[in-house]
Every structure is written in C-alpha cells, then in structure tokens.
Amino acid sequence: MSDLDIRPTVRECGGRADVTAQPVRELLTGRDMPLGESTVVRRLLPTLGRRMIGAWCFVDHYGPDDIVDKPGMQVPPHPHTGLQTVSWLRQGEILHNDSLGSSQVLTPGALGLMTAGRGISHSEQTPRSHAPLLHGAQLWVALPDEHRHVAPAWEYHQGTPVDHGSGVTSTVILGEFANVTSPGTTYSPLVGVALDVAGGTSTNLPLERDFEYAALAMHGRVDIDGVPVEPGSLLYLGSGRSRLPVEATHDGAVMLLGGEPFEEKLLMWWNFIGRTDDEVRRYRDQWQQRDPRFGEVDSYDGARLSAPPFPDLPLKPRGRTR
C-alpha cells in the first residue's frame, strides 16, 4: 500500500505524553485520497486530530466499489521502511508482488502482512480477471526502534482465527483477542480484529485496560459505546477500558484496532518511517537512485513510482495529536 499524495506532509508521531488514561469518544471522519489510477480511499489515520493508535499509524478504508468495467486498484512499485503493511479484504482480490520475489493474490478474510524493516518495495493490483466489487482496508504498523531494521519479509495467512459469540464474529487479524491469537508476526503489543456484528446484537467485548483503541467502520451502522459509527469514520476510544459495549440494529462490520501507546517519536513522510529528517531524506534519495536497499519488483510490467520532492522545511515536533 502506498501514500500517493504528491505533497505528503512531514509528521512526527508517537510518544505517550498526549495519551489520556481515561476513555474518550472522539469520532474522526476520513478524507478522500486517490490511490493509483482508479481507486479512491478514505484516509482515517493520520489526521490533524489523531496520528497513532498504539503502533497503528496509517489507516485507509476503500469501497465497496463497483469495478466491473474498471481496472480497480493499480499501484506501481513503491518503497517502505520501518513499518509493517496490513492488507485486509471484505470483497474482491488484490495481487501483491514485492522485491523479495513474493507474488500472492489476496482474498477476503486472509491476512497479507509485509514487514518492510530496513527496506522493501512492492506493487498492488486488482487482477485482470476480478470480482465485481472491491472493499477493504490497508493499514501500517510502526516498528519500534529495536526492530525497525529487521530483514524484510512477506506473510500470507489464509485461515486467520475466528471467535463466535454473542452475535459477534471476531476474526483476529493481528495480536490476541478473547484468547484467540493471530499467526501474524508482531513487534509490539497490539491487536487488530474484524468484527462482523449481527443485527439485534447487544454485547460487551473484552479489552486490555493498558491499550488505547479505535473502531473503524467498514459496513452498515454499529453503535460503539453508544456512539453510532458508519463507514467513512473512525471512533477513537482512548484507554482505561476493560469492556466495550457494542450494539447493532442491522448487520454491520467494524475493525477494532488497539495497542499499547507507542512510546517512541517517529517521523513519517510519504512511504517511509524513520526517526530523523536526515534519515528519511536518505531513504528518498536511495529510492530515486535505485539503491539495492529496496530491491526491484521484477514481476511488475510498468514504471515504478517516483518519490515526491522533499520539502525544504525544518521539522516541528507535533506528537500524537494536534
């Protein structure tokens, strides 16, 4: 997944100073962003009001889009550093190719997890022959300093674990939830769960009090702690909760994202995560110069993305919130 903004903002994220120990109900709306040739995503994180949820630092929701006579998602090869990408589909297919030689068609309910570590490049495409609808979420997880230079890796897990109970089907994407553990590799305490909520449900879900959480609306309307959450919005819940009330009059779906507040400060620009201005500028220059750090996506037929110009601006610490 890629940030295709031609004028990406330099952001400093992380740190615990702005994380309240009390529950909150902060409803955030996304902004439409073009992704590739014909896909528009709703960018819900980072925003001016919120930059991280645990180690989750980037959240896009797209669809459901009718792509019967369209190419769907078409994102050329682009680089990443210092993060993991998480691809999750409700409908459709996406072909992942990367500089490790991995080639995999992602399908609904399967986890595509790419660890960029010290550097990787990849492309994302809707296959030529594809389903009529495309609907999913693409997310980034920031790697802590001790792991951010690990070797790049690709994981594909077709059978992510599922828990059924009280009108909610919980598919554990990353981390552990309700004593169910995902096979995906993690580097900090976090959780990502797809919740399919049946109409007529009224229940409470277990949470970790030390985690901060947010609910990403995927389908229909679900009331989270009494707040109606509909597609195109993200409800930030803060921390200090052990239970989460969930209700739905009709069928709906949300993604529950959470984790220990990310202690380190990090710098995000375009598709890179680093720690300093000099470091991220070096990544950009290496990508432009085809440095071996990022490898090549040999299976992609076409040109790769060029990095935007780096702004000639001093960095201003902003922390987790505005």
pLDDT of residue 317: 42
- What lies within 8 Å, CB to CB, of 215 at 6+ separation is 222, 224, 229, 234, 235, 237, 254, 255, 256, 257
Query: What whole-number distance in Å separates Cα of residue 281 and Cα of residue 134?
Result: 34
pLDDT of residue 312: 80
Tokens at residue 222, please? 């679900």
Query: What whole-number distance in Å separates Cα of residue 188 and Cα of residue 270?
Result: 23
Query: What whole-number distance in Å separates Cα of residue 218 and Cα of residue 231?
Result: 5
- 103-106 and 83-91 beta bridge pairing: unpaired
Whether 268 contacts 56, CB under 8 Å: no
Whether 46 contacts 131, CB under 8 Å: no
pLDDT of residue 8: 63
pLDDT of residue 1: 52
DSSP string, 158-176: SS--EEEETTEEEEEEEEE
Cα dihedral across residues 16, 17, 23, 26: positive or negative: negative
Residue showing tokens 């819940």: 237
Q: Provide the residue-wise pLDDT of the chain in tens; the chain has 322 residues.
A: 555 554 565 555 555 555 666 789 999 998 999 886 678 999 999 987 788 999 999 999 999 999 999 999 999 999 999 999 999 999 999 999 999 999 999 999 999 999 999 999 999 999 999 999 999 999 999 999 999 999 999 999 998 889 888 899 999 999 999 999 999 999 999 999 999 999 999 999 999 999 999 999 999 999 999 999 999 899 999 999 999 999 999 999 999 999 999 999 999 999 999 999 999 999 999 999 999 999 999 999 899 999 999 888 755 544 555 4
Number of alpha carbons in the 13 Å side-chain half-sphere of residue 217 = 24
Residue showing tokens 């992609």: 300
pLDDT of residue 168: 96
pLDDT digits (tens, 9 = 90+) for 222-269: 999 999 999 989 999 999 999 999 999 999 999 999 999 999 999 999
pTM of this prediction? Answer: 0.91
Residue showing tokens 């990022």: 294
Residue in 164, 166, 163 with CA at minimum distance from that of residue 248: 166
pLDDT digits (tens, 9 = 90+) for 193-227: 999 999 999 999 999 999 999 999 999 999 999 99
Burial (CB count <10 Å: 0-12, 13-18, 19+), residue 161? middle
Burial (CB count <10 Å: 0-12, 13-18, 19+), residue 313? exposed
pLDDT of residue 11: 53
